[in-house]
Amino acid sequence: MTLLLAGDIGGTKTILRLVEVSEQLLLHNVYEERHRSGDFPDLVPMVREFLKNSGGLLPQKACFAIAGPVVDNTAKLTNLAWFLDAKRLQEELGIAQVRLINDFAAVGYGVLGLSPQDILTLQPGKPNSNAPIAIIGAGTGLGQGFLIKQGSSYQIFPSEGGHADFGPRTELEFQLLKYLLDKHDIQRVSVERVVSGLGIVAIYQFLRDRQTTAESPEIAQIVRTWEQEAGKQEKSVDPGAVIGKAALQKSDRLSEQTIELFVGAYGAEAGNLALKLLPYGGLYLAGGIAPKILPLIQEDKFMLNFTQKGRMRSLLEDIPVHVILNQEVGLIGAAIGATRL
């Protein structure tokens, strides 16, 4: 048995997990802790405290999923004043091999470790185990990536597809595009500005400002508070989550309209990714938003927009589409990434 350390490093929280891996590459969780990232000046003291609490266990290999770009096994976290270098981590922690990977690349590895209960299938399609696998995930931003099979294993490729141009398809979406261009005084709108947690708020603001549907006082106050806290690193409210919950409960018409527009745009962008990759190995929805509004994702709007690609519709109807329910997929991926060292 080999002992591995897997970490999911975010600007707000960090999850560390010790994992035993057998010769058959079966993973067994040994010990886990969660920490507030901002409570530590660097990853090293956090890991040292974690290993001490674990009873002094020392892993042979470690892989950390990082919320930010990874270049030459180094990373500067997006929302945290940490600069991580795998070579320095090896030396200071006494771990023989350390690897840093982007958090969405970790999701790619994590897909390979999911069990049937970890996913919900929106479209069974016609799976092909030799075809690419695609990942798209709306959360804080919009992550995209893909896996290509090489022999008996997969190589994971992260992508910046979330920063591609937003492509409106209806009159309402064209109005949304114009609204965002004018509001932010910008020359282009990325799809991430629409299909993300911030995108949910942007859509709500757009529909609110059109004044065709009345706001509820409760949600109006939450959105106003969020707007007043613009520029602060930590916000006291999460309007995207509140809007999604209200849409689920059908307690606020404006929220319902917001999520309907969001789900349609999400499905369309997932379909765009599928057209480029033809991922008959499966397209997986990652990120924190889809599981929270799952009944609305399961309605016709998402898959209708996914497959609504003209003459290519029949191709997209053959692609398996799944929602990842296990929110620890990145941590699972970090453990699998460590086995590749």
- 7 assigned ligand-binding residue: yes
Q: pLDDT (tens digit, 9 = 90+) per residue, 184-196?
A: 999 999 999 999 9
Domain(s) labelled CATH 3.30.420.40 in the chain stretch across 2-115+328-339
Q: Which CATH superfamily is domain 2-115+328-339 in?
A: ATPase, nucleotide binding domain (3.30.420.40)
Q: 22-36, 37-51, 305-319 — which is least confidently predicted?
A: 22-36
Domain(s) labelled CATH 3.40.367.20 in the chain stretch across 162-324
- 14 assigned ligand-binding residue: no
User: What pLDDT, on a 0 to 100 scale, did the predictor assign at position 183?
Assistant: 94
Which numeric CATH code is attached to 162-324? 3.40.367.20
User: What pLDDT, on a 0 to 100 scale, did the predictor assign at position 25?
Assistant: 64
The answer to whether 75 and 43 are in contact (CB under 8 A) is no
User: What pLDDT, on a 0 to 100 scale, did the predictor assign at position 282?
Assistant: 98
User: In the predicted model, is pLDDT for residue 335 greater than 80?
Assistant: yes
Which secondary-structure segment (H or E) carries 50?
helix 43-53
User: In the predicted model, is pLDDT for residue 298 greater than 70?
Assistant: yes
User: In the predicted model, is pLDDT for residue 140 greater than 90?
Assistant: no
- 209 assigned ligand-binding residue: no
| Global model pTM greater than 0.85 | yes
Residue 81 pLDDT grade (very low, low, confident, very high; cuts 50, 70, 90): confident
Kindly give, in sequence order, each residue whose CB lies less than 8 Å from that of residue 2, ignoring residues fewer than 6 positions away: 20, 21, 60, 61, 339
User: In the predicted model, is pLDDT for residue 325 greater than 90?
Assistant: yes
- 108 assigned ligand-binding residue: no
User: What pLDDT, on a 0 to 100 scale, did the predictor assign at position 10?
Assistant: 86
pLDDT, average across residues 330-338: 94
The answer to whether 114 and 324 are in contact (CB under 8 A) is yes
Q: What is the C-alpha to C-alpha distance for residues 159 and 203, in angstroms, rounded to an integer?
A: 25
- 8 assigned ligand-binding residue: yes
Q: What is the C-alpha to C-alpha distance for residues 300 and 318, in angstroms, rounded to an integer?
A: 17
**Region of 278 on the Ramachandran plot (φ > 0 left; ψ -120 to 50 alpha; else beta):** left
User: In the predicted model, is pLDDT for residue 234 greater than 80?
Assistant: no
Q: Up-side HSE of residue 70: CA atoms within 13 Å toward CB?
A: 21
- 10 assigned ligand-binding residue: yes
The answer to whether 274 and 284 are in contact (CB under 8 A) is no
